[in-house]
Amino acid sequence: MGYLFGFFFLPSFVLPTVIYDFRKENDIKNWRIVNDAVLGGNSFGLFQLHPEGYGVFEREVVHENDGGFSSVQYRFDKLKVKPYNKIAFRIKGSNTNFQIRVKECLRTHYSYVFEFPALNEWQEIEVSLKNMYPFFRGGKLEKPNFSHDHIESVSFFIGNNKPDKFHLFIDKIELH
**Domain count of the fold of the chain:** 1
Q: Note down the domain range covering 102.
A: 17-135+145-151+165-175
CATH of residue 64's domain is: 2.60.120.430
Q: Is 153:73 a contact under the CB 8 Å cutoff?
A: yes
Q: Is 35 exposed, middle or buried (0-12, 13-18, 19+ CB in 10 A)?
A: buried
110, part of any domain:
yes
156, part of any domain:
no
Q: Is 92:122 a contact under the CB 8 Å cutoff?
A: yes
pLDDT number for residue 11? 54
Q: How many CA atoms are closer than 13 Å to the CA of 47, on its beta-carbon side?
A: 21
138-146 contact pairs (CB < 8 A, 24+)? 141/110, 143/110, 145/112, 146/102, 146/104, 146/112
111, part of any domain:
yes
99, part of any domain:
yes
Q: Is 82:149 a contact under the CB 8 Å cutoff?
A: yes
The model's pLDDT over 11-60, given as tens digits with 9 standing for 90+, comes to 556 799 999 999 998 899 999 999 988 777 889 999 999 999 999 999 99
Q: What tens-digit pLDDT sequence spans the chain (176 residues)?
A: 555 454 445 455 679 999 999 999 889 999 999 998 877 788 999 999 999 999 999 999 998 877 789 999 999 999 999 999 999 999 999 999 999 999 999 999 999 999 999 999 999 999 999 999 999 988 999 999 999 999 999 999 999 888 889 999 999 999 99
